[in-house]
Amino acid sequence: MTRTFALAVALVVAFAGASRSDDTYPVASPNERLVFELRDEGGRVSYEVVHDGRSVIAPSRIGFELTGQSMAEGWTVSPQGMRTDTEDFELPWGEQRRVTDTFTEMRALLRHEASGIDMLLAVRVFDDGVGFRFEWPEQGAFGPQPHEGDDFVIEDELTEFNFPGDSNAWWIPAYFGNRYEYLYRANRLSALRAMKEVRAVHTPLTLETEDGLYVAIHEAALTDYAAMTLAPTDGGFECDLVPWSDGTKVKARTPFVSPWRVILVGESPAELVESTIVLSLNEPSRIEDTSWITPGKYAAIWWSLHIDKETWETGERHGATTANTKRMIDFAAENDLVGVLVEGWNTGWGDGWLDDGVFDWVTPTADYDLDEVARYAREKGTRMIGHLENGGDVERWLERQHDVFARFRDLEMNAVKTGYVSHGQGIVRTLENGETVKEWQHGQWMVRNYRSTVEVAAQYGIMINAHEPIKDTGIRRTWPNMMTREGARGQEYNAWSQGNGPDHTAIIPFTRLLGSPMDFTPGVMDVMIEEYKPNNRVPTTVAKQLALYVTIYSPLQSVTDLPENYAGNPAFGFIQDVPVDWEESHVLTAAIGDHFTIARKERGGDEWFLGSVTDENPRRLTVPLDFLDPDREYVAYVYADGDEAHWETRPTDVKITRAKVDASTVLRLELAAGGGTAIRFAPIPRRDAGR
């Protein structure tokens, strides 16, 4: 990472005249179009975010309630200086190889006069958004420790995000039993605040303002803090930290920092998708040698379980047998896949699998030879990916994780899928007196435990695919073995619920995927599932299933369907060809909930891939190919919806064509209802000029 430091005296002078009073401290983005204004309003601290002179975030307060100390007011503000800086770093894997973000930073000392407590506010303003966080240095002002081991306890964070008009929001509810696994809804803020059953919503939260700007609220570097949800208010939203079982929000020992509160701002939805602010606000990698971290596609004994062809528990239809896993390993080896995810290989599945103590994560079932499967996979040049569901038995998992990861390392298994399904709303925690309480999966206790697993896995050279996770806040920069996660409604809901609906995958690129990546599990060819689930279906065309490999980013991508549904299917050619690691990515069309088109260049190569998806409506999209190398010609291998394709009536109608194209070509994509298009652009070899 390179840094360019410069005292931004010019910016201070330039905006001094624009200040509304001597107690307003503006911080402008490098292009000067976005301004964060910090205000001292007689002891009450607030901020406003302005874009091209228009208020994006209306005046909103900041402050805290600590145990025994209200800190909503009584502050003095002392700016500590301003500078410009550039974060420039290379990702070991990702949507692009390099991230370069320039910002203006101001740090301000906030002193609470009544208590004498000091707090630093760090503000970074980028061209496409704002990040700010709170820092508490070591100090004696906190007085006696309210809890053993803590310097202070946060009862409430008072940060607000107010909006000047009745913006439209895309949201999912917080504090509901299915964690993040809900279909997104779109409502005006006035309608959302009228829904009394909605206590708060999760982030990333995406909005379209009445001025036509697009805004997303999220957080970055969530490390030792409660996850931030957003409670609707008359003005917009206020921070609602997920509490501990005792009702407090955060237990802290100085020096201590909060996560960054992130506000992305764009003139189009595409600008939100292309922002890298969340990554830039995380710390550099703690893993020096990342050569063992290998993105790739994987097969799985997984979809067969969800469609009820096979079962997790042992018996006649048990999926995770030695013989069946070897068959899947052969399929993976034949198609250059990095591994085979296996669910149901270990003891504990069956009735009561959510009871404490049923899993030990190392003992295979009687019909599963773990050592032989691992040996066979190594022989074939691939790996088994073990599923480590803990059923909410988190305390026991934490006690065993070193032993489990050591066992997997010895078997040369370098990736696992973790699971945190639990009974009801909460994870059981045992207090020192032996009593048990339930903690939210997104409170500080679980945030710490999710991070512990990532860090311990890194010690053993193991990559993580987390299900029922904490949301992604960019920690993959710091811990790049944290590869991918669920954290939204994935493909499995199409197998046993009312399904996700055709618009779901046209919404999540602008919401959930702003935290990115996601293990959505695309690639189902038998979208009707008539043999096993005649009352369920996947609400897409097959061409859209192919496009999802490009539109939904994950460094570990599932080749989801049964191997027999790929055999002899020409559409499988795109899945075989598409990479999972990218040099650069460019959004080409974007309308939240309607359509999304993105092009990505393979890392270390010259080929490009395009994915385009639509909702329940057919669409004609015009896509210039000016992202291609202007000095090359390409063959475009197009996997499109057929003339009769429709997600309800003809989902398997796929038209595969090829054409010669170059950077001056303009494509006209014809997307069927619930459909999509996937394209591979392969450069035509240059002729030897000497011949």
Same domain flag for 272 and 331: no
- Asked if 30 contacts 11 with a C-beta cutoff of 8 angstroms, the reply is no
* Lowest-confidence segment of 187-201, 317-331, 347-361, 677-691 by average pLDDT: 677-691
79 belongs to a structural domain: yes
| Beta-sheet pairing, 98-112 with 463-466 | unpaired
Tokens representing 262 are: 């992130």
The Cα–Cα gap between 399 and 196 comes to: 41
Q: Structural domain of residue 341, as residue ranges?
A: 296-389+401-419+447-542+553-570
Same domain flag for 274 and 301: no
Same domain flag for 103 and 155: yes
Same domain flag for 327 and 178: no
What does residue 572 show for φ and ψ, rounded to 5 degrees? -65, -20
360 belongs to a structural domain: yes
Average pLDDT of the chain is 94
Question: Where residue 20 falls among pLDDT bands split at 50, 70, 90?
Answer: very low
The Cα–Cα gap between 267 and 161 comes to: 19
Over residues 202-210, mean pLDDT: 98
* Lowest-confidence segment of 16-25, 452-461, 555-564 by average pLDDT: 16-25
Structurally, the chain folds into a number of domains equal to: 2
Same domain flag for 322 and 195: no
Question: Where residue 516 falls among pLDDT bands split at 50, 70, 90?
Answer: confident
CATH code for position 87: 2.70.98.10
CATH code for position 518: 3.20.20.70
Is 492 annotated as catalytic? Answer: yes
Tokens representing 376 are: 């066979």
Provide CB contacts within 8 A for 684, sequence distance 6+.
632, 633, 634, 635, 660
Task: Please state, for a pLDDT cut of 90, what percent of the chain lies above it.
Answer: 91
668 belongs to a structural domain: no
How many C-beta atoms lie closer than 10 Å to residue 144's C-beta?
Answer: 6
Tokens representing 48 are: 């406003």
pTM of the predicted model over 0.75: yes
pLDDT over 90 (residue 686) = no
The separation between CA 289 and the C-alpha centre of its own chain, rounded to angstroms, equals 24
Over residues 333-349, mean pLDDT: 97
Over residues 203-227, mean pLDDT: 97
- 156 bridge partner residues: 65
Tokens representing 83 are: 């500078």
pLDDT over 50 (residue 196) = yes
Classified as helix, coil or strand, 378 is: helix
Over residues 258-280, mean pLDDT: 98
Same domain flag for 256 and 312: no
Q: Which helix (H) or strand (E) holds 623?
A: strand 619-624
The Cα–Cα gap between 65 and 63 comes to: 7
Q: Which helix (H) or strand (E) holds 587?
A: strand 582-591
23 belongs to a structural domain: yes
Same domain flag for 199 and 318: no
630 belongs to a structural domain: no
The Cα–Cα gap between 439 and 426 comes to: 5
The Cα–Cα gap between 619 and 595 comes to: 8
The Cα–Cα gap between 323 and 585 comes to: 40
The conformation of residue 627, written as its DSSP 8-state character, comes to: T
Same domain flag for 276 and 364: no
Tokens representing 25 are: 């401290």
The separation between CA 214 and the C-alpha centre of its own chain, rounded to angstroms, equals 19
Q: Which is the catalytic residue, given 492, 531, 584, 648?
A: 492
Classified as helix, coil or strand, 379 is: helix
User: What tens digit of pLDDT does each residue of 455-513 get?
Assistant: 999 999 999 999 999 999 999 999 999 999 999 999 999 999 999 999 999 999 999 99
Total number of residues shown for the chain:
691
Question: Where residue 9 falls among pLDDT bands split at 50, 70, 90?
Answer: very low
Domain boundary among 280, 309, 331: 280
Same domain flag for 272 and 305: no
Q: Which residues of 128-138 are buried (b: 16+ CB within 10 A; e: fewer)?
A: bbbbbbbbbee
pLDDT over 70 (residue 385) = yes
285 belongs to a structural domain: no
Same domain flag for 242 and 331: no
Same domain flag for 307 and 261: no
Q: Quote the pLDDT of residue 22.
A: 55
User: What tens digit of pLDDT does each residue of 125-151 get?
Assistant: 999 999 999 999 998 878 655 556 678
Residue 357 CB burial class (10 angstroms; 0-12, 13-18, ≥19): exposed
User: What tens digit of pLDDT does each residue of 282-310 get?
Assistant: 999 999 999 999 999 999 999 999 999 99
Q: Quote the pLDDT of residue 16.
A: 34
335 belongs to a structural domain: yes
- 131 bridge partner residues: 124, 262
Q: Given the structure tokens 């509901």, which residue do they identify?
A: 176
Question: Where residue 6 falls among pLDDT bands split at 50, 70, 90?
Answer: very low
pLDDT over 50 (residue 691) = no
151 belongs to a structural domain: yes
Same domain flag for 240 and 340: no
Classified as helix, coil or strand, 12 is: helix
- Asked if 416 contacts 384 with a C-beta cutoff of 8 angstroms, the reply is no
Q: Quote the pLDDT of residue 140.
A: 82
Q: Measured in Å, how far apart are the chain's first and last C-alpha atoms?
A: 44
